[in-house]
Structure 1
């Protein structure tokens, strides 16, 4: 770019991880970047995710890692290969946020929260000249293809940047900023959008009054859940109207789809996945003596009170034969009747299909407009896969912008942290 020319201006709509990482790449390339967000601050959902320990990515072998994206794997794979889990860790550490691998293989910042990382990240963006227009709600485009925003005063703001990246998120936790209103705005432009559906969410069950009143909020630890041919070990939580938790989320896409097809789905709960059915039956063959059923199950099978309650939900008259009782403990049927609402889900399925964008994530119907993050139609389980793909698509969209405006990305290694430089350098 000649020294006398003014750098192109890029509008990024959405101040979540996808939008912010795109702003960083473009800021390093010398472009004028403005991030628009309807909230009074950016990164709100990232901060919420960090309350339980910010799960940045996962350490598992790459070939297994990319399978977590299911049908979206062919399109996401090259983007994640360009910004791999180790690259995300290097980027975090470049911000002074060291990372560690937990016992489950998940990767977290040592600080175990998002606020220190976000604070340093925003400082870096400001040093790159990235500007923020907060309390600006996007309203679509006008007849001159200008972006329309409504600012905090209710005034209309119209801009026509050289390129736009849309990174407005899905529709889960709308109070944090991502409310899905962009679906109608894109549909008006003739862009197909797959219906937004909850992902990584809980499910509803018809619990008895006893379970609702006595065991709401109780954890089910060291369990296994099976649906169809897939078994997941982990934990879950009994809610007043159903069940949720990590092990449930891992099966949520299949369970959701089954409920949509058939109206319900049966999930099988193994209360003692560490014991075989044979070993369990032998333990249950011990003399019960004068013990109550609950005491006997607690001592002989090691069941918790909530586990015993769920056994009784499935079979009020517990089997007396040890083998039959062991089979029930190993496969307690839970009939799921629906999904928890989209606004309470961890993430969102649906969105802009990959068929609507090119290899640079630019909308085929709207040259110069790119889509990143959860707005795209993909989903993944919790465990770091969500943030990894969000970052990767944000970087891919930024590279697409640079190609669109004709600016090669030639950044010295020292300008960017870790392997973000190699991931974003022109290929």
Structure 2
């Protein structure tokens, strides 16, 4: 060998290993971020396939995010805004749109400002995403339920050998729609951490309908209505269910309604069946005598109410409401007994306290363990805010893990 020959390069160190537990949007985004940073990533999930709740969300069009100004967008997270702000600012709605289109899934902005993939479903996006992850070397180990840690820090899974990783990202979800994978069982595995009890968010509510009303109108939509609760008014749509009421307008008020019921017991929500008609106009049509017309016929012809609206007015009258038809059409009282069960909610409130995480989304009590997504204690309305925060916090946890590994 010539004296001028360069010495052989030292062998390169193997990449750091990271286990991501949970194959929903937050976990998959953490895995993508970590793999792009050079880590060897394995995603574990106890379900037989990844992204099951994402696929379910896609049945309604897959609302990715929202196009409103970022400051207004961040306000949708209420008291969690301050903690989520940095993550969402680093991966804002514009980044979500670019990410989706980078997976060959064009997007569009709907009339409400919500952003959707043009395919209006999740399956093409998820397939493309999993393909990208596979190309970057991300491994998936499915049908593996995480059960905690060994005394020396290895991850344990039911019926499998312990797993060692240089870092861990927990993205275990909440507890809504548990048949899709997130059942809240992780709360017992983090017993040393502060966890706010899991509660339904974006949920329906129980109303004690009469059997006559229930049998006739369960499943009937309420269109072009307004709901009001303690000074807040929301226009939209809802659906009468066998046990009560649910739908977009209800979900928008659900956090306030849920918390009021928890503090006080049953509360009254008011329903405006004709929000586009003022009281004076309705009084001219409904305030006079109805003659020989039946109540239902009078409400249909003079009030312009559909059958379900007529049924609601009759339900209120039979329940003892004052016989003021205009008042009932404009502010029909609905007595809400309780939120519908968490398993039927769109999303979950409560979870791992944000105070348990440092600025890099790492658990203060467990160095090298990071957390993201719906398992954290935040909530948001529907409209793209849920998925946006899951993606943003997944990316933030991934970046935090990379930074920690670089220092380790």
In structure 1, the residue matched to 2:5 is: none
Contact 2:287 2:326 in 1 (8 A): no
Alpha-carbon shift at residue 211 of structure 1 (Å)? 1.1
Larger Rg: 2
Unaligned runs of 5+ in 2: 1-9
Alpha-carbon shift at residue 3 of structure 1 (Å)? 6.6
Q: Please give the root-mean-square deviation of Cα atoms over the aligned residues, in Å.
A: 1.6
Superposition TM-score, scaled by structure 2 size = 0.95
1:34-61 deviation line (CA, Å, top 9, x unaligned): 0000011000000001111101111122
In structure 1, the residue matched to 2:279 is: 277
1:191 aligns with 2:231: no
In structure 2, the residue matched to 1:213 is: 215
Distance 1:392 1:142 in 2: 30
Distance 2:86 2:233 in 1: 29
Where 2:379 maps in the other structure, the secondary structure is coil
In structure 2, the residue matched to 1:422 is: none
1:356 aligns with 2:364: no
In structure 1, the residue matched to 2:300 is: 298
Alpha-carbon shift at residue 283 of structure 1 (Å)? 2.5
Where 1:361 maps in the other structure, the secondary structure is coil
Give the alignment of 1:261-410 within 5 angstroms.
261-285=263-287, 288-316=290-318, 324-406=324-406
Distance 2:343 2:397 in 1: 26
Structure 1's 3 and 20: CA in aligned 2 closer, same or farther, altered over 3 A?
farther
Contact 1:312 1:318 in 2 (8 A): no
Where 2:137 maps in the other structure, the secondary structure is coil
In structure 2, the residue matched to 1:8 is: 16
In structure 2, the residue matched to 1:253 is: 255
1:200-246 deviation line (CA, Å, top 9, x unaligned): 11110110111111000000000011111111111111111111001
Distance 1:319 1:169 in 2: 46
1:230 aligns with 2:238: no
Where 1:158 maps in the other structure, the secondary structure is coil
Unaligned runs of 5+ in 1: 409-427
Alpha-carbon shift at residue 157 of structure 1 (Å)? 2.1
Where 2:213 maps in the other structure, the secondary structure is helix
Distance 1:302 1:193 in 2: 49
Distance 1:3 1:275 in 2: 77
Contact 2:287 2:325 in 1 (8 A): no
In structure 2, the residue matched to 1:70 is: 78
Alpha-carbon shift at residue 286 of structure 1 (Å)? 6.4
Distance 2:37 2:321 in 1: 68
